Amino acid sequence: MDPFAAPRESDEQALVTRKLDWPQSYARRAAFGVYAAAIGSGFAFGAHPQGASSLLGVLAVSWAISYFCALDARAHHVVFPHSFWLFTSLAWPVAPLAHLVRVRGASGALTYAVHAPLVAFCAFMSAALGAWLSK
């Protein structure tokens, strides 16, 4: 059977009828990844503030936030536009708020209001710990 000759869409009902739970699980793991990236980049910045670790830390946090937004959209059955990856990476303090409000509504703003200060707190505390341990 030639896979390229197969029809792309079918009128037949799918064989699997149960709801997939992997998007929610992966979105939750990506949220933990945002915290891990913030802690790791904060520690690296505190230990070596003049090195390339600052740039790599910011890139890691922005990528983790973009990845979380994409998986969160998938978990809530909303399309995450491909162009929003770049926008989220460049405007990551504000873009997750726009994403969460678009996907979750008012509860998204509450989610952002809770988690954004926690991520910043983790980054600042790990930076302080990195600076303290490097002396």
Domain tally, the chain: 1
Residue 58 within a domain: yes
pLDDT digit string (tens) for 29-66? 999 999 999 999 999 999 988 878 888 888 999 999 99
Domain that holds residue 124: 23-134
In SS3 terms, the chain reads as CCCCCCCCCCCCCCCCCCCCCHHHHHHHHHHHHHHHHHHHHHHHHHHCCCCCHHHHHHHHHHHHHHHHHHHHHHHCCCCCCCHHHHHHHHCCCCHHHHHHHHHHCHHHHHHHHHHHHHHHHHHHHHHHHHHHHHC
The pLDDT of residue 51 is 79
Low-confidence residues in the chain, pLDDT < 50: 16
Residue 2 within a domain: no
The pLDDT of residue 112 is 95
